[in-house]
């Protein structure tokens, strides 16, 4: 992820020592937009990831630890944070932070059919595993949240983009009223290819659960399907990969008829929400003076163009 909190080796060594780790090197990670991350190399050659939470307090950051433990017990490829003194989250430079094992693999760029099927199965298993998990998050980024964000962003949009956004939200309001059977549960909310690791076609890791929220499973599906089944810089959907994804997911948790009816709309909604997120992040970075090579800022136009393409297939 982007490096918002610079750290020295000595600072990290002092932080890691109570975990029983002797750190000999740290490497900043420059991929992502929310938190600060470093790879840590221990004396014995083992690699870990240090995450500094930029916008969460200790309680909010710690909420995810039992989730990861539960998913690990369910057989999903996740990195369970290390703990000492009975907790995983501790403080560095007055910010909550954690250390977790580094999962080894590569982001699938582009994804193969087998990789698409593997992430679909894992996502379905994650939805099922967390269906009744007893967790209330300190923040909720559901449709109401993103509707509020869109209204905040809207005045800064061009007239054409204001029309585009209004069209998307109007279609959402119309179609979801007609097809209400869209079950909810905990969703990853950010399961892009750069939050997964593969060795060949074998899924080795699912990363970055910081956007975990209660929302419609269909929204999570749309986010992941959009990314895994699109071959950038093109924004059109690869139909063969999309069908493989849906068939694989359906083997674990069959979609409802209403979910199927709303899928094309949700592919557009997922693109629209990430268009808004990237604009929001750009505005926040500008206000806080965040810039430079250590800050990754993803292009909002990529999601805007995807939204336009996905809307071609949505009818009210």
pLDDT at 261 over 70: yes
What are the sequence ranges of the domains in the chain? Answer: 9-101, 113-311
Rounded CA gap, 97 and 37, in Å? 10
| pLDDT grade for 30, boundaries at 50, 70 and 90 | confident
The two domains 9-101 and 113-311 share their CATH topology (first three levels equal): no
Three-class SS state of 112: coil
pLDDT at 1 over 50: no
The topology under which CATH files domain 113-311 is Aminoglycoside 3'-phosphotransferase; Chain: A, domain 2 (3.90.1200)
Average of per-residue pLDDT across 129-156: 87
| pLDDT grade for 32, boundaries at 50, 70 and 90 | low
Quote the pLDDT of residue 293.
53
255-284 burial: b if 16+ Cβ within 10 Å, else e = bbebbeebbbbbbbbbbbbbbbbbbbbbee
Query: If one looks up domain 9-101 in CATH, what number appears?
Result: 3.30.200.20
Rounded CA gap, 149 and 280, in Å? 8
End-to-end Cα distance, the chain: 39
| pLDDT grade for 294, boundaries at 50, 70 and 90 | very low
Rounded CA gap, 110 and 117, in Å? 14
Which residues does 26 contact at the CB level (< 8 Å), separation at least 6?
7, 9, 12, 38, 39, 40, 41, 50
Rounded CA gap, 192 and 298, in Å? 13
Nearest 10 degrees: Cα torsion 161, 164, 168, 171: 150
């Amino acid at each position: 992820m982007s490096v918002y909190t610079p750290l020295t080796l000595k600072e990290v060594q002092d932080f890691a020592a109570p975990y029983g780790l002797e750190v000999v090197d740290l490497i900043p990670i420059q991929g992502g937009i929310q938190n600060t991350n470093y790879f840590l190399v221990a004396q014995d050659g083992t690699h870990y990831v240090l995450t500094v939470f930029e916008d969460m307090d200790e309680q909010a950051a710690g909420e995810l630890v039992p989730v990861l433990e539960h998913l690990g017990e369910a057989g999903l490829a996740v990195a369970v944070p290390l703990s000492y003194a009975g907790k995983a989250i501790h403080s560095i430079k007055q910010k909550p932070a954690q250390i977790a094992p580094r999962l080894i693999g590569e982001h699938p760029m582009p994804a193969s059919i087998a990789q698409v099927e593997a992430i679909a199965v894992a996502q379905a298993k994650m939805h099922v595993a967390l269906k009744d998990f007893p967790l209330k998050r300190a923040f909720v980024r559901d449709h109401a949240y993103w509707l509020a964000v869109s209204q905040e962003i809207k005045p800064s949009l061009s007239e054409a983009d204001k029309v585009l956004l209004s069209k998307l939200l109007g279609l959402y309001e119309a179609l979801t009223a007609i097809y209400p059977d869209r079950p909810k549960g905990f969703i990853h909310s950010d399961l892009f290819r750069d939050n997964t690791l593969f060795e060949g076609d074998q899924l080795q890791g699912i990363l970055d659960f910081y956007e975990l929220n209660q929302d419609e499973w269909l929204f999570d599906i749309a986010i992941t399907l959009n990314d895994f089944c699109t071959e950038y810089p093109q924004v059109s959907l690869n139909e063969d990969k999309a069908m493989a994804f849906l068939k694989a997911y359906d083997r674990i948790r069959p979609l409802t008829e209403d979910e199927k009816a709303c899928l094309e709309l949700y592919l557009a909604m997922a693109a629209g929400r990430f268009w808004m997120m990237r604009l929001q992040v750009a505005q926040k970075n500008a206000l806080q003076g965040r810039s430079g090579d250590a800050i990754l800022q993803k292009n909002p136009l990529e999601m805007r163009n995807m939204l336009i393409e996905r809307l071609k297939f949505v009818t009210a």
